[in-house]
């Protein structure tokens, strides 16, 4: 029998130690709700694409994000994705700013 790791506990420990400390030191704020953190909603690089293709835009995590397209029901959208393909815009997720002089070397690798 193989012993199973306890990822939830490991992740929790990691969050409360290294990651939690890093967030606390930097004073980082993460907005993961549907409410904006104040001010205008941001637009992702795909915002114009979503609007041009009939995306119904709603506020999410401080951004304009699409929830439905061109009058399709959620079920129709699901079936389209299962039979064809869909794009999920992740540009509002994990974003990093690097001020390191070697950042261009890293990003071009």
What string of pLDDT tens digits covers the 109 residues of the chain? 555 555 544 455 544 455 555 454 544 455 444 444 567 999 999 999 999 989 999 999 899 999 888 888 889 988 988 999 887 888 888 777 777 777 777 666 5
List CB contacts of 74: < 8 A, sequence separation 6 or more: 68
Which residue intervals of the chain are DSSP H helices?
7-14, 20-26, 47-52, 74-83, 103-107
Phi, psi for residue 108 in degrees, rounded to 5 = -95, -5
Q: What is the pLDDT of residue 109?
A: 58
Q: What global pTM score does this model have?
A: 0.50
Task: Tell me the domain boundaries of the chain.
Answer: 31-84
Q: Do 41 and 59 contact (CB within 8 A), yes or no?
A: yes
Nearest-angstrom CA–CA distance, 61 and 35 = 6
Q: What is the pLDDT of residue 31?
A: 47
Q: What is the pLDDT of residue 68?
A: 86
């Amino acid at each position: 029998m193989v012993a199973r790791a306890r990822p939830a506990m490991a992740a929790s420990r990691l969050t409360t130690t290294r990651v939690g400390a890093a967030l606390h030191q930097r004073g980082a704020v993460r907005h993961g709700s549907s409410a904006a953190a104040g001010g205008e909603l941001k637009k992702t690089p795909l915002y114009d694409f979503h609007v041009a293709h009939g995306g119904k835009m709603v506020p999410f995590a401080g951004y304009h994000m699409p929830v439905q397209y061109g009058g399709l029901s959620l079920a129709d959208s699901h079936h389209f994705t299962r039979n064809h393909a869909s794009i999920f815009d992740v540009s509002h997720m994990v974003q990093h700013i690097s001020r390191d002089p070697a950042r261009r070397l890293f990003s071009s690798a």
